[in-house]
Amino acid sequence: MRASLIIGVAGLTLTGDERRLLARSRPAGIILFARNIASADQTRALVAEVKAAVESEQMLVLVDQEGGRVQRIKPPLASLLPPAAAYLAHFEGDLTAAADAARSVARLLADELRSLAINTDCAPVLDVPVPGAHGIIGNRAFATNVNDIIALGRAFAAGLMDGAILPVMKHIPGHGRALADSHLELPVIDATQATLETSDLVPFRALADLPAAMTAHVVFKALDPAAPASTSRHVIEEIVRGRCGFAGLLMSDDLGMKALSGSFAERTRAVLAAGSDLALHCSGNFEEMTAVAGAAPTMQGIALQRFETAFAVTTRTPVPYDRAKAGAVLEALVARVA
């Protein structure tokens, strides 16, 4: 048994309350932030504590390690990573070279994450930024051209999976056009469905075979004017599962983001009722965690099958690679950004 839930914890070790909550709720995963990571030994010990509390080794351990502005683990515990936009810029538009570099860097990153007992990376970002959009995505996107995003996103995801790390593509069906930051308010996108079909949805449709994805807390007026995509059953069923063809493990973005309204129990029920397999809560606030855990049912049926298929990526034998070459590529990319 495991709950339809991924949660964060407050600090470097579990509190007694957290341990008891984990034992009762048995979430499908945890997500780590800088507040949870002080050293390699401590991080591995924290993950071991969580697994002992839920009495399962079959658990997703997530982190947001995209590179650039979104990198929870910093040197010396992990390499400094460039933002996604740096790959194509560094190779001056040579898509083949940029994709090779993205796969190499992701493969190296996979080793670093596995060494910390982390098995899931919330990347790649497949959002398509447009002129005038809010900068929350910005250079977290690989490019502005959908074909470039597809190639680079595919390469980065492949590198992670080569290293037995589960990639989570985000933010389906797209955050790049938003004029606001969903951490702070609810973005509303006015684009027509025809525009979305030829732009925002294209990378997600092309990479629909990836094993996991994260939704966007964004209203698309042409798709559902009344609810964010993450809480809209129409968007999840007709667009994410239907038009995009994504059949993998689907998790919500953070329930704590101000784009959502209602109690934390209501938010949990809303994303799961819409069609997400997992509700994600990140802050480590114990009162919020308790409410979310109380509203998250046990995973079963197709949701459990999707979880097991996604988790299987983390049990693969890592593919050999040239670590020295990957390190040199990474060093050159970071030097250019600096």
Nearest 5°: the CA angle 5, 54, 161 is 65
Burial class (CB in 10 A: 0-12, 13-18, 19+), 56: middle
Which H or E run includes 219?
strand 219-220
Q: Which two tokens stand for residue 144?
A: 């502005």
SS3 content of the chain, % helix, strand, coil (to 5): 45, 15, 40
| Residue from 130, 282, 114, 112 nearest 200 by CA | 130
- Just list the catalytic residues: 183, 253
For the CA atoms of the chain, what is the radius of gyration? Answer: 19
| Residue from 203, 202, 200, 119 nearest 161 by CA | 119
State the residue for tokens 């997500």: 31
Burial class (CB in 10 A: 0-12, 13-18, 19+), 338: exposed
| Residue from 81, 67, 119 nearest 312 by CA | 119
